[in-house]
Chain A
Amino acid sequence: MSTPTLTDIDVEVTVTDRPDPPPPRGSGPIARRRRRGRARRRTWRTSRFAYALIAPAVVFMVLVHLLPAIGGLILSFKNLNTFTFSQLYGAPWAGLQNYRAILFDGSNPLHSGFFGAVENTVVYTFWTVGLTLSGGLAVALLVKRPMRGQKVVRALMLTPWIVPSYVVAVLWGFMWQSDVGIVNKVLVDYTHVLSDRPVWLLGPHTMWAIIIPSVWRGLPFAMLIFLAGLQAMPKDLYDAAAIDGAGAFRRFRYITLPLMRPLIAIQLLFGVIYSAYQFAIPYVMLGSNPGPDADLMMTLIVRQSFSNNLFGFGAAASTLLMLGMLVWVAVWYRAFRRDLEATS
């Protein structure tokens, strides 16, 4: 018999020294069921307070979100128009007709209107979210630096966020007016940056006329979140990188940005959804028909549903928008899953 090695002994000890599990007190199906029942009652006793607390929210969510969403889905399969909309769920069944008209019927004016609105919404969302997040991060980096009056600057930076969207749209609507608006006064009359007065509220410029106020309003919130993230970052990482000779850009690229990824991810998720559902700013600034250059999905849906009584079309377009957002959430989750797991 050869001399046992240390590893062999360990293994042997591990195996032989493990105590036998205590024999179960009854191992039949009835006993198992009893045990499960006891466990369930114990769980209910300990958790019922928590259930009671979240119950109002659950009931509210079901009534206010889930049921209307299901209702909207049903309406999208109905022939709802001027003559039938008062019947609502009793309106004649249309099958996939509304979806076919929107997606494939080139002779239907609603078809081109829908794709125009989709394109506008993508452009609006891209620029609004991109500028809000990059601007928010840039401003957060600036106001994080120690300076005199730092608190006052931070407080002032937050003011656009507390202005309601309605007021933002009305104010900017006046500011954009080509003849007396302050924007053209500054660009043309005071600074002579431009020689001609651009018309902001008509034609292709209209898109920028809604993007800029949206960024102006959304940027403070992004800044606030990024600032909180920046303040929580360990300073020794930056000190170590500085000692190793990393400049400001490299510190930002290799420390700040990776550590901020979870915050960027969350803001990206909500920013895209919020922008895709944007309604107040274009509606208040440009009316129910913002024109082909700035007609977003929501303005189109509201106009066709509530002005033209095409509720079936509106419900189908809403469903398609919701599906689009579900796809976005799936893509987002795939892209940022690791960041979420790292922070949990």
Chain B
Amino acid sequence: MRSKLTVVAWIATAAVGLIVAACGGSSGDKTTSSAQSSQPAALQKGSTIRLWVMNNGPQPVQDTKRIVQGFERQTGVNVDVELVGWDVQFDRIRNAAVSGGGPDVTQAGTTQVPFFAALNGFSDLNGRIKDIGGKGAYAPGIWQTTQLAGQNGTFAIPWFTEARAIYYRKDVLEKAGIDPATAFKDWDSFQQTLQTIKDKVPTIDGKPIAPFGSPGKKAFDLVHHVMPFVWDAGGAELSSDDKKSTIDSPQAEEGVNFMAGLIQKGLYDKSMLERDGTQVENQFKGGRLAVWIGGPWVLGSVGRTDDTTWVSDARKNVGVAPMPAGPSGKGFTFVGGSNLMMLKSTKHPNEAWALMKYLSGDAVQKEYANLMGMFPARLVPQKQVGETDPDHRAFYSAIQQGRTYAPIPQWAQIENAYKNRLGAILDSAAGQGKPYNQSSLAAQLHDAAQEADSLLSQTTG
């Protein structure tokens, strides 16, 4: 009996070793199928393409499955749609690119593409893009998000676009006696609108409502909320040659100070700084904020009864306006969205490309944009969606005024560094942590610039 148990124990030991060894995977996997052909090839019916998508709407997986049904019917290729949350997608896509063990196609944030491309785990699509009309089918700023500075390659194709605009409650503005047409024209009118709401409409239907709210350091996209004010003031995130941070310039300081000043004046509900982006979005939908800055997906969710975060008064009184113009005379906004990238490790490059091409069709882009509440990335369907109604027109105009960040591999890390410091600045303005004043603001931005410069100075050696 004892000898049998001994044998079992040794077998268990060997099994543990084998399992752990197997978890390591095979380095050969990475290269077996990285080759791709630019020639049209017959698609392998019955093959399965794994597609990673992020939380793009209330039902991201079901909606995407619905969209790709047409592709499955046409080609006989199956699509396995998997949800990867925004909170973990950066790590998972990076790991998939490095290990070679991931999906065939993945969605990626536009600002992340240069970093992922630099990992050398994604296919260069230059030989295929003529199938979707080439770069002429997209706005230059959007096409730029598929590139990697210093390299001649196309590492992604634009999938959908978003930009930030001002959401407001029509009933609150009406009660405050403010004309929506001029309420958010420039920084002064924006601030005056918030002040009037604070003075005249502290409650609506007996419930308290704050004039304005925006998330703090918990939001993954905090930088997208602050940078438009920096751009409005004539500032920039990096120097024109992308070699040095300019986040500590006087112009950038002015932009950040404007946003922090809203907190100090009591116009910006500081409790929103404790929340992440989705939680603040839900505060607007739940009727606790009169004005908020958000993306087009919220507009798309107004008509969706399966989005139960809306209270009825908020749902029926949504208005959208472009971002206010700053001292530079321009009202910039962040324009981003998501691209599609093909992993080099895919065993089905032709089928993967066929799926990407299908998702780039004008009709499919429009249908998906409607479902997700985003804008199509391609010029023609984008314009068509922009002409739907005044609210969509505001977003379409925002996209035209939109800016994005430099296509350099270090941007995601620099954005993180900025996010940390901007979060601390807004906390200070809310009376938490270090006292807020001009010199503490300058010091924080200087630290942010220094950190960004050290990230920019990273080398391969």
Residues of A within 8 A of B (CB): 48-49, 52-53, 55-56, 59-60, 63-64, 79, 81-86, 92, 107-110, 176-179, 199-205, 286-287, 289, 291-293, 303, 306-309
A-side contacts of B416, CB under 8 Å: 289, 303, 307-308
Are B218 and A82 closer than 8 Å at their CB atoms?
no
Instruction: Tell whether A291 pairs with B424 under 8 Å between CB atoms, given A82-B118, A202-B274.
Output: yes
Q: Does B409 belong to the interface (CB within 8 Å)?
A: yes
A199 and B217: CB pair below 8 A?
no
In contact, A291 and B423 (Cβ under 8 angstroms): yes
- Which 7 A/B pairs are nearest by Cβ-Cβ distance? A203-B432, A52-B9, A202-B432, A201-B274, A179-B271, A81-B458, A109-B451
Instruction: Establish whether residues A83 and B409, one from each chain, have CB atoms under 8 Å apart when the complex forms.
Output: yes
13 contacts between A and B (CB under 8 A): A53-B9, A55-B13, A56-B12, A56-B13, A81-B459, A83-B409, A92-B461, A202-B270, A202-B274, A203-B433, A287-B217, A303-B416, A308-B455
**With contacts A178-B271, A307-B416 known, is A55 near B20, CB below 8 A?**
no
Q: Encode contact with A along B259-289: 1 for CB under 8 Å, 0 otherwise.
A: 0000000000111011110000000000000
CA distance A56 to B218 in the complex (A): 42
Contact of B450 among A63, A109, A286 (CB under 8 A): A109
Residues of B at under 8 Å CB distance from A?
2, 5-6, 9-10, 12-13, 16-17, 20, 90-91, 97-98, 115, 118-121, 216-218, 269-271, 273-276, 409-410, 412-413, 416-417, 419-420, 423-424, 427, 430-433, 447, 450-451, 454-455, 458-461
With a cutoff of 8 Å between Cβ atoms, the chain A residues found around residue B424 in the complex are 291-292
Residues of B within 8 A of A79 (CB): 461
Compute how far the CA of A81 lies from the CA of B456 in the bound complex, rounded to whole angstroms.
11
Q: Chain B residues with Cβ under 8 A from A286's Cβ? A: 218
Q: Is the CB of B9 within 8 A of A55?
A: yes
Q: Measured between alpha carbons, how far is A308 from B411 in the docked complex, in Å?
A: 10
The reply to whether B217 and A109 form a contact with Cβ atoms under 8 Å apart is: no
User: Which residues of A are found within 8 Å of B16, using beta-carbon distances?
Assistant: 56, 59-60, 63
Closest Cβ of chain B: how far from A98's Cβ, in Å? 13
Query: Smallest distance from the beta carbon of A11 to chain B beta carbons, Å?
Result: 51
- Report the number of A-B residue pairs with Cβ-Cβ less than 8 Å: 121
CA–CA, A134 and B248, complex, Å? 48
Which B residues are CB-close (under 8 A) to A203?
427, 430-433
Residue of B nearest to A204 (CB): B433
A82/B115 contact (C-beta < 8 A), A56-B12, A109-B454, A202-B430 known: yes
10 extra interchain contacts, Cβ-Cβ under 8 A, other than A63-B16, A81-B459, A291-B427? A56-B13, A82-B458, A86-B97, A86-B119, A109-B417, A178-B270, A199-B270, A203-B430, A203-B433, A287-B217
| Alpha-carbon gap, A277 to B2, bound state (A) | 41
Interface residues of chain B: helix, strand, loop or mixed (majority): helix
**In whole Å, how far is B244's beta carbon from the nearest beta carbon of chain A?**
15
Contact of A199 with B271 at beta-carbon distance under 8 Å, contacts A53-B9, A83-B459, A309-B413 already known: yes
Q: Across the interface, which residues of A come within 8 angstroms of B271, CB to CB?
A: 177-179, 199
Tell me the bound Cα distance from A203 to B426 in angstroms. Answer: 11
A319 to B329, CA, bound (A): 52
- Which residue on B lies nearest to A92, using beta carbons? B461
CB proximity of B424 to chain A, nearest CB, Å: 6
B203 CB, min distance to chain A CBs, angstroms: 14
Alpha-carbon separation in the docked complex, A282 to B413 (Å): 21
User: Which chain B positions have C-beta within 8 A of A48?
Assistant: 6
Alpha-carbon gap, A107 to B90, bound state (A): 29
Q: Choose one: B2, B120, B430; the contact of A199 (CB below 8 Å).
A: B430
Evaluate contact between A202 and B273: CB separation under 8 angstroms.
yes
Query: How far apart sit A59 and B21, CA to CA, in the bound complex (Å)?
Result: 12
Complex: chain B residue closest to A107, CB-CB: B450
Q: Which residues on the B side are within 8 Å of A49 (C-beta)?
A: 2, 5-6, 9
A325–chain B nearest beta-carbon distance, Å: 25
Q: Determine if A86 and B461 form an interchain contact, defined as CB atoms under 8 angstroms apart.
A: no
| CB-defined contacts of B455 to chain A, threshold 8 Å | 82, 308
- CA–CA, A85 to B455, complex, Å? 14
Residue contact A292 to B433, C-beta cutoff 8 Å = yes
Nearest chain B residue, comparing its CB with the CB of A177? B274
